[in-house]
Amino acid sequence: MTSTDTPATGRALIVVDVQPTFCEGGELAVEGGNAVAEAIAVFAAERRAGYDLVVTTQDWHVDPGHHFATAPEVPDFVDTWPPHGLAGTPNAELHPALADLAPDASVKKGEYQAAYSGFEGVDGEGRSLAQVLQEAGVSSADVVGIAESHCVRATALDAHALGLATRVLTDLTVPVSAELGEAARIELAAAGVELVRSTEA
């Protein structure tokens, strides 16, 4: 049986914030973002049959308050950030590499708040990510996307807290910095989130 023939077993793939706004050339670019987007697209195409559900999340900011640093304020890149993920703009859409992904559900987050975790968003029907997963009978989740140190970390921790067997596929995510990535992996592992490469998933 090949990987593409593997039957789904209550597992979801959660693709976190793979948007041009977080990739090279975007408003809040993470180095390696474009390469990760391409790698996720390849992985999803090859392994789609192994998932019952594929869900994307997107930063979709309208007016997130103090999350944005506006002139003359200088962003501290901890609590305040340059404007990014602006609702309705091309850079807030899914990365072009994911054009053929056809997710089963799409969650948008952060219209009027910071919202790092995908579990803070809702889909087009107003369902939270937790509701989407529960209604699909999901018991385990693989989390990928941008950035490992921020929204991927927060989403994976919330998935684990919800009782899902949660893995972060470490080669399908990228941190804001090496130091923050290391700190995130330590926190995730300590919480019980499994860290594996996609080839081991």
CB 46 within 8 A of CB 169: no
Name the catalytic one among 23, 52, 151, 158.
151
Catalytic-role residue among 23, 52, 108, 109 = 109
Task: Please tell me the predicted confidence (pLDDT) of residue 2.
Answer: 36
- 109-164 residue pLDDT tens: 999 999 999 999 999 999 999 999 999 999 999 999 999 999 999 999 999 999 99
CATH number of the domain residue 139 falls in:
3.40.50.850
What percent of the chain is modeled with pLDDT above 70?
A: 96
Model pLDDT for residues 158-199, shown as the tens digit of each residue: 999 999 999 999 999 999 999 999 999 999 999 999 999 999
**pLDDT, position 72:** 80
Q: Is 108 noted as a catalytic residue in this protein?
A: no
- Among 17, 52, 123, 142, the active-site one is 17
23 included as an active-site residue: no
- Could you give the number of structural domains in the chain? 1
Residue 70: domain span: 3-200
